[in-house]
Amino acid sequence: MHRFDPAHLHRLVSPERDTWLHPQQVLDALHLRPGLKVVDFGSGPGYFTLPVAERVGPGGTVFALDVEQAMLEALQQRATAAAVSNIVAILTDARNIPLPDAIADRALLSLVLHEVPDRSLLLSEVSRLLKPQGRLVVVEWQPWQTEHGPAPGERLAPERLADELQGHGFIQVASAPLGDNCYVMAAHNP
């Protein structure tokens, strides 16, 4: 299974990425408001973390989780430069997320699940961290070859993702394409 190389983290915050990932649609799917607590799984250098932190405001918190220290260091530098102080960066993996149960109102997994060897374990952790009725938003690659993204064999088709979410007790709310490259799926904890 392919994992994103942190040596290319500059690609994750490139303005060109906005043209094909449609970040506004993803942010809208999260239904953010001031004061919420959000877990950003696979936050990388903060492409979504920073705008989420701005939307939840100083009374909210974004827990930025990543498996690569270099990604979290880049995130912290970008947060400092933007004077954003409501982000907690945590180096972790799906097996050991050091956060208490039901801490989050929202969870975001953007272009992460296709890289995770044990999606079941990660989805169990997402469910554990989300409050009852907490909202999960997942962004994944379309299952066919696109201009951006991994090989088709490494992608997670929307139907399969919906089945996996349902298998972990999530109730699917909506799914929509994000241009030609990706799709967004929203669900919530029971």
pLDDT at 15: 79
pLDDT at 177 over 70: yes
Q: What is the mean pLDDT of residues 122-130?
A: 96
Angle between helices 49-56 and 69-81 in degrees, nearest 10: 50
Percent of the chain at pLDDT above 70? 94
pLDDT at 1: 45
Q: What is the mean pLDDT of residues 31-39?
A: 98
- Residue 161: how many other CB atoms lie within 10 Å: 24
Higher pLDDT, 18 or 134: 134
What residues contact residue 72 under an 8 Å CB cut-off, 6+ apart?
43, 64, 66, 89, 90, 91
**Rounded-to-integer distance, Cα 167 and Cα 60, Å:** 30
pLDDT at 45: 94
**Rounded-to-integer distance, Cα 162 and Cα 174, Å:** 10
- The per-residue pLDDT of the chain, averaged, comes to 92
Structure confidence at residue 78 as a pLDDT band (50, 70, 90): very high
Q: What is the mean pLDDT of residues 132-155?
A: 94
Structure confidence at residue 95 as a pLDDT band (50, 70, 90): confident
Per-residue pLDDT of 159-169, as tens digits, reads 999 999 999 99
The side-by-side arrangement of strands in the sheet containing 130-141 is 87-91, 61-66, 37-41, 104-110, 130-141, 182-188, 171-178
Higher pLDDT, 25 or 5: 25
Q: Which of 13-17, 56-60, 175-179 has the lowest mean pLDDT?
A: 13-17
Residue 182's H or E segment, with its range, is strand 182-188
pLDDT at 8: 60
Nearest C-alpha neighbor of 28 from the set 139, 171, 189: 139
